[in-house]
Amino acid sequence: MGFRKVPLEKGEFYHIYNRGNSKQQIFFDDEDYQHFIKLLFVCNSVKQVSFRDDIVEKKIDAFDFDREETIVLIGAWVLMPNHFHIYITFPEEGLRGENNISIFMRKLCTAYSKYINTKYKRTGGLFEGKFKSVHITNDVQAKYLFSYIHLNPIKLLQKDWKEKGIKNKKSVFEYLNKYSYSSYLDYKGIIRPENKISNRKVFPEYFQDIKDFDSEIEEWLTFSDQD
């Protein structure tokens, strides 16, 4: 087993991401996105979980699943056609002597890969190796990450927005307000089952209210030449 250049440590915050093997698509329709979103919630549990046995066969909503103790804490997330981003931390010692983030990501990616391979009758690895991680070490980096994650979907609306600037800011906000495959709507105060995925209380409060969050997003859209 390979070692990470930057170890994943208790109480520290990380930007976790991964993409499809050879940059291939990993979400093909709304059902795929919704399944991964449900796995973000269900797999974050000390339990050994089988989506079919624990959710489908019992005919319960995934967000009603009794997870008991969670193994990680998620602050923000977004799904894109061929990749995903998660802002994550864990406050407790690793389960079974392992790292909680690694355990969670293994459960999540394995469950989703099995789902995709079964649904589309495919074989082989879905993801491009093990997940990538960036250690978030300061408030500036962390606050930028919140905006970076939530602005990712704009590339689907205007691919060159960072280089050429936003052509229509109103249409961008309308698009983000309809894009349900991220935690953006949670920060906008929209009540939905997906609210249960995040535990924002343990993350620094960079935004005092929804208006403050909107101002931060608009500022990044204005200075769209940022990386």
What's the predicted TM-score (pTM) here? 0.91
Contacts with 127 (C-beta within 8 Å, 6 or more apart), sequence order: 18, 19, 20, 21, 26, 109, 113
State pLDDT tens for residues 79-130.
Answer: 999 999 999 998 876 676 678 999 999 999 999 999 999 999 998 899 998 8
Letter for the amino acid at 56? V
State pLDDT tens for residues 133-153.
Answer: 999 999 889 888 988 999 999
Mean pLDDT (whole number) for 175-198: 94
Six-digit token string for 42: 């269900």
Confidence at residue 211, expressed as pLDDT on a 0 to 100 scale: 81
Mapped onto helix, strand or coil, the DSSP state of residue 27 is coil
Six-digit token string for 18: 């991964």
State pLDDT tens for residues 41-78.
Answer: 999 999 999 999 999 999 999 999 999 999 999 999 99
Domains and CATH numbers, the chain: 13-133 (3.30.70.1290), 138-192+202-222 (no CATH)
